[in-house]
Amino acid sequence: MDNFLITKYKDVEPYVPGEQPRDRQYLKLNTNESPYPPSEAVQKAVAESASSLQLYPDPACRDLKAALAESLGLSPQNILPTNGSDEVLSLSFMAYAHDEKPAYYPDVTYGFYDVLSGLFGVKAKRFALAKDFTINIDDYCGLESGLIVIANPNAPTGIAIGVDAVERICRESPDCVVLIDEAYVEFGAESCVGLVTKYPNLIVSRTYSKSMSLAGARLGYAIANEDRIRELETLKYTLNPYSVNRTALMAGVAAVKDIGYYRNNCDTVAKTRDETAERLKTLGFTLTDSKTNFVFCRHESVPAGELSDRLRKAGILVRHFTGERTNDWLRISVGTPEDMLRLTDTLEKILNGGIE
Ligand SMILES: *Cc1c(COP(=O)(O)O)cnc(C)c1O
């Protein structure tokens, strides 16, 4: 027997994370991590957690719920901390979709949605983005039941939709749960958190991985009406009651208190992104209007796969998603201004035939 998996899992397609190679030191612009370390207070909280790691974490995550609730002007019952926001996504697919209740999402979006549809046997209905990668809001209005999932801003396109558009979807598909994945919202898009008290069918997911420099700690959270939070929390307690570890909880509380440091980092990243975009345009790239910590770009003459290979040889990793609609494009995470100067200088040399 080379496969003991039970039948329903035999064909699952796992998520393929951006690589974390060890063969040499690369400039990593391939997984949208923050180029800045956690704040000193967060590093201190992480160190302090060590002396109590013999104890389980609080499964109800009360301190973190309280800290987040206060910062968002909501109640702790509106919040569920999770092991990365990926856990919000898995709990939501589990809770609100199956083979007859579809999950609806764009054809070009975060790859994990397809993975979860496969794992949970969910019927996936993918609506094609327009040619310019914008979402047609009408597609998501008037749907009868199931789970609507929209990353806002979308990935890997970086394009955002407005709060008014999300509100229209919540209103016009009232029997669907609408999950807005705000993994990148802090870099320049409008958050829909203000709508959760008005629309019981809305769930917003957020993560500490990108804007809060804690990708390695695995921390995210859902924000929603208290009934939705109760449903997701019930499933969390069924699957993994201690999914958020003690160190992550302490880091998460400390980070909320240091929000100024993180806002400043996000503003710097947004500024660096816009400067990088301008330089890339002068090098012959076309870009989408990214509101995230990455740019999505294609070159007028050199194929994306070739650029990505050559950058790798020069010690720089970027992400190339093969696949019909994204094959011509590169997703490049925004690092420090120095990182981005190295990137654009290297691209310039490659394009001028200066390096192989
Ligand atoms: C990175 C990302 C996530 C998940 O992040 P976690 O590290 O699990 O919090 C979710 N959605 C999108 C669109 C992302 O890019």
* CA gap 284, 131 in Å, rounded: 20
Q: Which two tokens stand for residue 275?
A: 């400067």
* CA gap 205, 190 in Å, rounded: 14
Is there an atom of ligand 1 within 6 Å of 220 CB? yes
Contacts of residue 116, Cβ cutoff 8 Å, sequence gap at least 6: 89, 90, 93, 103, 122
Is there an atom of ligand 1 within 6 Å of 292 CB? no
What single DSSP character describes residue 319? B
Give per-residue burial for 78-115: e unless 16+ CB within 10 Å, then b.
Answer: bbbbbbbbbbbbbbbbbbbbbeebbbbbbebbbebbbb
The residue to mutate among 85, 152, 154, 333, having the most atoms of ligand 1 within 8 angstroms of its beta carbon, is 85
Is there an atom of ligand 1 within 6 Å of 209 CB? yes
Nearest to 147 by CA among 198, 89, 194, 107: 89
Instruction: Give me the DSSP letters along 167-233.
Output: HHHHHHSTTEEEEEE-TTGGGTSPP-GGGTTT-TTEEEEEESSSTTS-GGG--EEEEE-HHHHHHHH
Q: Which two tokens stand for residue 40?
A: 């000193």
Count of H-run helices and E-run strands, the chain: 10, 12
pTM passes above 0.85:
yes
Nearest-Å Rg of the Cα atoms of the chain is 21
Cα angle for residues 139, 142, 143 (degrees, 5° grid): 80
* CA gap 18, 39 in Å, rounded: 25
* CA gap 160, 188 in Å, rounded: 9
Is there an atom of ligand 1 within 6 Å of 189 CB? no
Long-range contacts of 340-347 (CB under 8 A, 24+ apart): 340/272, 340/275, 340/276, 340/279, 342/27, 342/316, 343/27, 343/29, 343/276, 343/311, 343/316, 344/276, 344/279, 344/280, 344/283, 346/311, 346/314, 346/316, 347/280, 347/283, 347/307, 347/311
Sign of the torsion formed by the C-alpha atoms of 348, 351, 354 and 356: positive
Under 8 Å between Cβ of 176 and 201? yes
* CA gap 238, 299 in Å, rounded: 48
Q: Of all protein residues, whose CA lies closest to atom 11 belonging to ligand 1?
A: 183
Instruction: Compute, in angstroms, the gap from residue 207 CA to the centroid of ligand 1.
Output: 7
The torsion angles phi and psi of 44, rounded to 5 degrees, stand at: -70, -45
Question: pLDDT 10s digit of each residue in the chain, 356 long?
Answer: 678 899 989 888 899 887 788 888 999 999 999 999 999 999 999 999 999 999 999 999 999 999 999 999 999 999 999 999 999 999 999 999 999 999 999 999 999 999 999 999 999 999 999 999 999 999 999 999 999 999 999 999 999 999 999 999 999 999 999 999 999 999 999 999 999 999 999 999 999 999 999 999 999 999 999 999 999 999 999 999 999 999 999 999 999 999 999 999 999 999 999 999 999 999 999 999 999 999 999 999 999 999 999 999 999 999 999 989 999 999 999 999 999 999 999 999 999 986 65
